[in-house]
Chain A
Amino acid sequence: GAVVSQHPSRVICKSGTSVKIECRSLDFQATTMFWYRQFPKQSLMLMATSNEGSKATYEQGVEKDKFLINHASLTLSTLTVTSAHPEDSSFYICSARDMGGLTPNSPLHFGNGTRLTVT
């Protein structure tokens, strides 16, 4: 089945530094990838939609200068948390939909997430 690989799985960084998270679709192409954030015991909140070759679309309340998204190819999207602060500590998950899916609503495939801790 389709696999989405997310790296790193866990990262600890100091306040003020930047962290890059990679999301790759391993056996399919994805023009669109989605970045979610999950706080403990809460829902997955959509942060932004990453579009290959163009600017990402951010959800209301998400700072685009804080969370930089680059979708350079059909198999890779990156999320960079810039000047990280302790309140950015969270579980970040990427997802992608197989372009060859049968319908526009073919299920999203999720990465295993990245646990970010900012000290």
Chain B
Amino acid sequence: DQQVKQNSPSLSVQEGRISILNCDYTNSMFDYFLWYKKYPAEGPTFLISISSIKDKNEDGRFTVFLNKSAKHLSLHIVPSQPGDSAVYFCAASSYNTDKLIFGTGTRLQVFP
């Protein structure tokens, strides 16, 4: 049972435009969400997070939106840059556990 889903396996965006990566979850106990970026043969690196008490968190070019009623979150990257090309994973956890549950990932390609 995949509790965290990223339904788009890939996304292609032109440089300078907005990239929107989506993530859905099923477990209503999740209250903390994170986005990680991963290059091939490397471990994921943390990008941005959001707690369930917020609906938006912004850090530079990265903004995460959370819609708790829809159990949906999204990562916006604007403007997109070629160096953003990587696989993006959303992850979720609940306050009373250390475990992170990852989505299946979306491969973002930013072309010139």
Contact = CB atoms under 8 A, between A and B. Distances in A.
Interface of A: 4, 6, 9, 32, 34, 36, 41-46, 49, 91, 93, 95, 97, 104-105, 107-113, 115
Given A43-B105, A107-B34, A6 B43 contact: yes
Interface of B: 2, 4, 9, 32, 34, 36, 41-46, 49, 51, 89, 93, 95, 98-105
Contacts of A115: 41
Given A49-B99, A111-B43, A44 B49 contact: no
B47 to A, nearest CB: 9
Nearest to B6: A43
B98 A104 contact: yes
A112 B39 CA distance: 10
Contacts, number: 60
Contacts of A41: 9, 105
B41 A112 contact: yes
Given A104-B95, A105-B93, A43 B43 contact: no
Contacts of A45: 102
B98 A109 contact: no
B89 A44 contact: yes
A95 B43 contact: yes
A1 B8 CA distance: 31
Contacts of B4: 43
Contacts of B46: 107-109
Nearest to B9: A41
Contact of A110 (B9, B44, B49, B105): B44
A1 to B, nearest CB: 9
